[in-house]
Structure 1
Amino acid sequence: MSPNALIPSHRKPRRSASSRALRAGVTGGFLTLAVTGATVPANAADKPVAETQELPTITTALTVDLAESADATQQVAEVYERQAAQDKAASSAAQAAKKDKAAAEKKAAEAKKKAAEAKKKAAEALETRASRSADRTSLTGGGSADSGSDASTPSTGATGSTATLLSFLQAQVGKAYISGSTGPSAYDCSGLVQTAFRQIGIQLPRVSQDQSTAGTQVGLSNLQVGDILYWGGAGSAYHVGVYVGNGNFIGAQNPSTGVVERPLSYDPPSGAVRVL
């Protein structure tokens, strides 16, 4: 035994059975540590034997709740994002449809306006042809002045029935134009043509449309005295006259001029038919 073993100050203190004990436990989500000892300082007599320190801990249930909450938040965000995209697409489609409708309505209005203008121009052209003024620069006068135009016009060399037809037509120059009339004091265009050809035994239809297809179609560059001139389409003519040679024709033009003799340049015809 060591010599110093008998000296109390050199002895190791014996560990009491209850010298120290460590206890641990989890209560209500907190970790509890308890330390106890048999020997405590003198000034700690009024302190409890056990000192406790509580530390926060994260339980598995809390972790699961947090994860589920994050997933739910993400899903809600995705729902809002999809809804926003759908709303934007619907708005764009509505704007495009509105724009297309406006464009279609504008085109329809323009087409309607153009059709109305074309119809108006056609009516004006028809009216102008039907009522052309007698004082055009290419004219030398109207009425009785035209009745003597054959005196200054070179002879056509017409003989037989053609001469008879020409003589009758020239005798009608200066008479009045009255719609529906066939003579002897007034005529309309087809009435004059029908009556003139009746003088030589040729029976023609009453109206311009039918007279424009009554004979053989001939070219305007190959006209002969007695050819029937028409204005408009064959079968849909709106005016007729008779070619009398030397580039002239005789016709009942309109109420303003009556029956006149005019050059072809006054109102160029659309076509001609030959019945002689």
Structure 2
Amino acid sequence: MSQTAHIPSHRKPRRSASKLALRAGVAGGVLGTIAVAGAAGPANAEPVTETIEMPTLGSLDADLASAVSASAEASQQEALDLSLQAQQDASIQKAAQDAKKAKAEADRKAAAAKAEAERAEKARVEAQERASRTAARTALSASSSGSTADSGSQVATGSAAAIVAFARAQVGDAYVSGGTGPNSWDCSGLVQAAYAQAGIDLPRVSSSQSSMGTSVSLSNLQPGDILYWGSRSGSYHVAIYVGGGNYVGAQNPSTGVVERSLDWDTPSGAVRIL
């Protein structure tokens, strides 16, 4: 076995050619600068005796590493700042969107509450008006329930009383063509509904209603008789005789349902169904 086979080498590892060239260039540049400065001085200048301490290659490596580390830290800090700014911007945008949604929902609820309050107030007013009208009709019906026909010798009783009371209770309602109640009527719609109170089913139109029952003269009327205008089989208007020389009918859009004297608009004839 060779005596030198296990002897470890004491040679230093070679530096890379690029690092040696860099360091040699730096050192050469510094020495060249000093040489130029010396040559440019006056001829009779005293020789420079001050010793200039040259930077070592080791210190240059340390400075370079420090600069690289500082740059990396700055880049990392900048990236961190940008990330935080982006998060803040996103949070602000989300908060603005949430606030906008909350406001829209609050406005919607406020509008719904206002509409509900308006509906409730309208219903209250309508109910109050309806109750007032019902009370007035009841009072009118009660005051006229004992009225007599013409000379006072006739009083509506039984089915006739129910028909007359219903007709008078509708006084003040509106006239609407084709109306069948409960708050608006046309002439035949009111007569049909009044007779329904007595359990009598009449046809819907005036010409058919005046064709029923038996004809009676205007001088021999009884409460509950149907008055008609026009010919009996071709009447264009009907009403209910309520006694006392008066009738109740849905006249027209201007007057609505009214109680009038026979003299106000004398009918053409009358029929009796009861």
User: Which of the five TM-score ranges fits, normalised by the shorter chain?
Assistant: 0.3 to 0.5
Bigger proportion of residues as helix = 2
**TM-score, normalised on structure 2?**
0.46
**TM-score, normalised on structure 1?**
0.45
